[in-house]
Amino acid sequence: MGKSRRKQGDVCACGSGHNRAACCGPYLDGGASAPTAEALMRSRYTAFVEGREGYLRATWAAETRPESLTLDPDQRWLGLDIRATEAGGAEDAEGWVEFVARSRVQGQGVRLHERSRFRREAGRWVYVDGVFPGV
């Protein structure tokens, strides 16, 4: 189980402005599955913030999921900016979310800009892979 640094009433780390319990909390805590690709993207970002390796692996497509995943405990996540979404709605089979996630590792700023591909499998969204625009 991951270690949560957040309390029940905290604003969700995903940047939605909503309370965690009314946003990504139900997905991360197993009470619900994300209804859209963007909701899954936001919950996966929150999982990185909270150090929830198990959730990240569980929401990763089997064919691209790494055998193991170890998060850097010294990485501090600073914010998520959703740039664009394409498909990925409640009735879609695939969707894409372009985002920028900012973090700090050993005093160095890190900016991850990715266009992630998601797919619905057995009624649940999973992360498949991503490309890095401009690289």
Query: Is 112 strand, coil or helix?
Result: strand
Q: Token pair of 84, please?
A: 């664009």
Residue with tokens 């999921």: 65
Domains (range + CATH), the chain: 20-131 (3.10.450.50)
CB 114 within 8 A of CB 128: no
Sheet holding 108-121, edge to edge: 76-87, 94-105, 108-121, 124-131
Give pLDDT tens digits along the chain (135 positions).
Answer: 334 444 546 899 999 999 999 999 999 999 899 999 999 999 999 999 999 999 999 999 999 999 999 999 999 999 999 999 999 999 999 999 999 999 999 999 999 999 999 999 999 999 999 999 976
- pTM value? 0.91
